[in-house]
């Protein structure tokens, strides 16, 4: 019996999905009063003229009274059934379903505003399905099955078909755009050429851009959710400035890292053998902010680098130089736990120099021409004049390794060198030639070349004369956990969003003056704020590795003041909904916190489960998308500067 009832319910849901309903009768209920906690009205039969249907709806009071299956007569407290990994959809829908102005619109007669012929829309069907879902959520039900809406969504947005987990913000972006196109009051979009903006005041140009935008895009979504920002591009070559004023539906804010410091221990060797190895622990910016130049500067100060010296910093792996860090001082440092670093103080010589890199092995560990290496390499520099005799090379190497000599053996040096030198490559994978210390170097030209590699093969008795502790015990790097960081304010995120930055190499700008693509600098400024401000916190990154930031963002609940970020007067904003994400990249779980405005109480919407919650619990590391509503201070707001130009005041500051 239970299965039969379930099948009948699904059949009814599918029937409504094929031909959804929307709008209200001519006797529109006074929902605005009910929404704010006052009286309410019944909802009459719905007629969708464009689709030629008339279907009776529940004769329920959407904001008061009681009905079968209601939560003690409360409206707006219906859960959404999870259809299988649809928590992302449920979270976004609950946030929109608790946007008072949007609910008011969809509970009234909006039939005349549907634009089924819009080629950019969804034939009006997405708006119909959404409006029908809003009516069910405010009909006093315990749980609503959003299958008709999900089917429509899958039809028009195949990326959301099936039952894979998706991003609530991506769904929200598609849904708002789709609703706008389905409800666009502009049936035929005019072509309007933008005038030359050179020399005109920003305010005049911004109003003109906004008027042009509204002439082509005019819907309840634009009225409520769209604002405008100023985009400034500056050419780095000719200093050409380009300014545009573009609409936005939501703000995607980065989560800036506070200046997180990490300690890095580096063994510093003398390139000419004039000093013993020293371990220096320095403070540099955190792992995502650090650059090689930061490490080089800190080490230079720590070891009191001379004016005629420079640091050659490397990462050592498997007793070889894995990479030369100091060659790209402005690139990301990209350290990982367990990395081992070494730095070499080298003399600056006039002209070109050769860096001589010395690997270490022992005679008893040779197998044919293969050597087993150990310890850290050593590095020295050879001036442009180069070397010509084998003895010169051996004496140079002996000086480089002299700080490793044991003190008791300093005054009892052997007559011969306790090592032999072999020519090799950067990975020490081949051995080309044994260098005879008593012969010239005709076949081994030490004329200027960037790097040359030798294997220094120690005699069995060398370990009695030299100490190799410093070579074998390079300190490992320890990276602090960057996923959990100190709390940051929402204002810091906004300032990071507005900070001037160069465009990426894949996002070059064509400069109209240079007639070339340039890596211009770009700056965004807020110009016009919407009634409903949606803020997306960019917790996910998909660059080299997928990552989610678990940073706690301290966002205002009652008074988000953006006055300092815009040129117009603006009232503060109040938070009314949050889309939350728990877990890692590619999975996890979404919920929503939403405020029931007529009760002034917060609730946790976790799919079909709805429970009251304390406002003190709203701020968590799971907060992903924030929904703010403009607070009207006083009864006489400032006059709208664009009313005379025919621009809707709902989206103005």
Under DSSP, the state recorded for 171 is H
Question: DSSP string covering 253-269, please?
Answer: E--PPP--EEEEEEEEE
Number of H helices, E strands in the chain: 14, 31
Catalytic residue among 280, 297, 568, 589: 589
Look at residue 396 in the predicted model and tell me its pLDDT: 92
Residue (of 320, 327, 314, 333) closest to 269 by Cα position: 314
Query: Among residues of the chain, what percentage have pLDDT more than 90?
Result: 51
Q: What average pLDDT score do residues 486-495 get?
A: 92
Other CB atoms within 10 Å distance of the CB of residue 86? 25
Residue 58 burial by CB count (10 A; 0-12/13-18/19+): exposed, middle or buried?
middle
- 299-310: per-residue pLDDT in tens? 999 999 999 999
Catalytic residue among 48, 87, 98, 493: 87
Cα–Cα distance, 23 to 48 (Å, whole number): 7
Cα–Cα distance, 258 to 488 (Å, whole number): 8
Residue 22 has pLDDT above 70, yes or no: no
- 413-465: per-residue pLDDT in tens? 745 788 888 888 888 877 777 888 888 875 544 444 578 899 988 887 777 78
- 519-563: per-residue pLDDT in tens? 899 999 999 999 999 999 999 876 555 678 888 999 999 999 999
Secondary structure of residue 645 in the 3-state scheme: helix
Look at residue 374 in the predicted model and tell me its pLDDT: 86
Residue (of 85, 225, 245) closest to 165 by Cα position: 85
Look at residue 493 in the predicted model and tell me its pLDDT: 94
- 390-399: per-residue pLDDT in tens? 898 999 999 9
Look at residue 522 in the predicted model and tell me its pLDDT: 92
Cα–Cα distance, 72 to 58 (Å, whole number): 17
pLDDT band at 285 (very low <50, low <70, confident <90, very high): confident
Respond yes or no: is residue 48 known to be catalytic.
no
Note the Cα 4 to chain centre separation in Å: 47
192 near 215, Cβ under 8 Å?
A: yes
Look at residue 57 in the predicted model and tell me its pLDDT: 40
Residue (of 463, 559, 613, 567) closest to 207 by Cα position: 567
Residue (of 37, 104, 97, 96) closest to 64 by Cα position: 37
- 620-635: per-residue pLDDT in tens? 999 999 999 998 765 3
Respond yes or no: is residue 589 known to be catalytic.
yes
Look at residue 16 in the predicted model and tell me its pLDDT: 30
Residue 145 has pLDDT above 90, yes or no: yes
Q: 70-74, 228-232, 291-295, 309-313: lowest mean pLDDT where?
A: 70-74
Look at residue 429 in the predicted model and tell me its pLDDT: 79
Look at residue 645 in the predicted model and tell me its pLDDT: 28
Residue (of 227, 232, 193, 191) closest to 210 by Cα position: 227
Q: Please work out, in degrees rounded to the nearest 5, the angle formed at the alpha carbon of residue 206 by the alpha carbons of 200 and 211.
A: 120
Look at residue 471 in the predicted model and tell me its pLDDT: 84
């Amino acid at each position: 019996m239970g299965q039969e009832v379930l099948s009948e319910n699904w059949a009814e849901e599918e029937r409504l999905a094929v031909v959804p309903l929307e709008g209200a009768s001519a006797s529109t209920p006074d929902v605005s009063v009910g929404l704010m906690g006052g009286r309410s009205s019944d909802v009459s039969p719905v007629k969708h003229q464009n689709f030629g249907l008339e279907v009776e709806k529940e004769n329920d009071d959407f904001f008061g009274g009681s009905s079968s299956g209601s939560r003690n007569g409360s409206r707006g407290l219906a859960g959404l059934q999870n259809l299988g990994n649809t928590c992302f959809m449920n979270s976004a829908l609950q946030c929109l379903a608790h946007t008072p102005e949007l609910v008011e619109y969809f509970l009234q007669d909006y039939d005349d505003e549907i634009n089924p012929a819009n080629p950019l829309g969804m034939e009006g069907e997405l708006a119909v399905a959404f409006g029908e879902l809003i009516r069910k959520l405010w009909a006093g039900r315990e749980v609503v099955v959003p299958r008709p809406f999900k089917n429509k969504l899958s039809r028009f947005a195949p990326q959301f078909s099936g039952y894979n987990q998706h991003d609530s913000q991506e769904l929200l972006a598609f849904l708002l755009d789709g609703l706008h196109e389905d409800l666009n009051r502009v049936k035929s979009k005019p072509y309007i050429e933008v005038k030359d903006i050179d020399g005109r005041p920003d305010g005049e140009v911004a109003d003109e851009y906004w008027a042009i935008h509204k002439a082509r895009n005019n819907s309840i979504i634009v009225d409520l959710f769209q604002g405008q920002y100023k985009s400034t591009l500056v050419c780095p070559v000719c200093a050409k400035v380009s300014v545009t004023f573009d609409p936005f539906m939501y703000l995607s804010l980065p989560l800036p890292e506070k200046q997180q410091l990490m300690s890095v221990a580096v063994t510093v060797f003398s390139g000419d053998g004039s000093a013993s190895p020293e371990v220096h622990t320095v403070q540099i910016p955190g792992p995502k902010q650090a650059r090689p130049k930061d490490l080089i500067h800190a080490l230079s100060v720590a070891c009191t680098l001379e004016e005629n010296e420079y640091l050659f910093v490397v990462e050592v792996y498997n007793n070889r130089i894995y990479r030369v860090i100091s060659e790209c001082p402005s690139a990301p440092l990209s350290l990982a736990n367990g990395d081992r670093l070494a730095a070499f103080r080298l003399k600056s010589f006039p002209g070109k120099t050769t860096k001589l890199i010395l690997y270490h092995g022992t005679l008893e560990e040779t197998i044919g021409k293969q050597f087993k290496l150990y310890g850290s390499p050593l590095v020295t520099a050879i001036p442009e004049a180069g070397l010509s005799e084998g003895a010169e090379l051996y004496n140079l190497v002996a000086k480089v390794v002299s700080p490793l000599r044991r003190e008791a053996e300093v005054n009892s040096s052997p007559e011969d060198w306790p090592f032999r030198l072999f020519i090799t490559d950067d990975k020490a994978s081949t051995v080309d030639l044994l260098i005879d210390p008593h012969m010239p170097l005709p076949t081994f030209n030490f004329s200027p070349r960037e790097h040359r590699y030798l294997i220094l093969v120690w005699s069995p008795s060398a370990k009695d004369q030299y100490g190799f502790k410093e070579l074998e015990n390079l300190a490992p790097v320890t990276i602090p956990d960057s996923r959990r960081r100190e709390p940051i304010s929402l204002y810091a995120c906004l300032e990071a969003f507005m900070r001037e930055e160069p465009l990426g190499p894949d996002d070059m700008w064509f400069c109209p003056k240079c007639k070339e693509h340039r890596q211009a600098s770009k700056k965004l400024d807020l110009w016009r704020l919407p009634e409903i401000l949606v803020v997306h916190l960019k917790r996910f990154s998909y660059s080299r590795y997928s990552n989610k930031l678990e940073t706690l963002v301290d966002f205002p609940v009652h008074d988000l003041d953006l006055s300092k970020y815009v040129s117009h007067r603006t009232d503060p904003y109040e938070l009314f909904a949050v889309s939350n994400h728990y877990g890692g990249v590619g999975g996890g779980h979404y919920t929503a916190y939403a405020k029931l405005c007529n009760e002034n109480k917060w609730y946790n919407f976790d799919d079909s489960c709805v429970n009251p919650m304390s406002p003190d619990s709203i701020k968590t590391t799971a907060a992903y998308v924030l929904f703010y509503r403009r607070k009207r201070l006083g009864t006489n707001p400032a006059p709208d500067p664009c009313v005379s130009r025919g621009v809707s005041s709902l989206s103005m500051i």
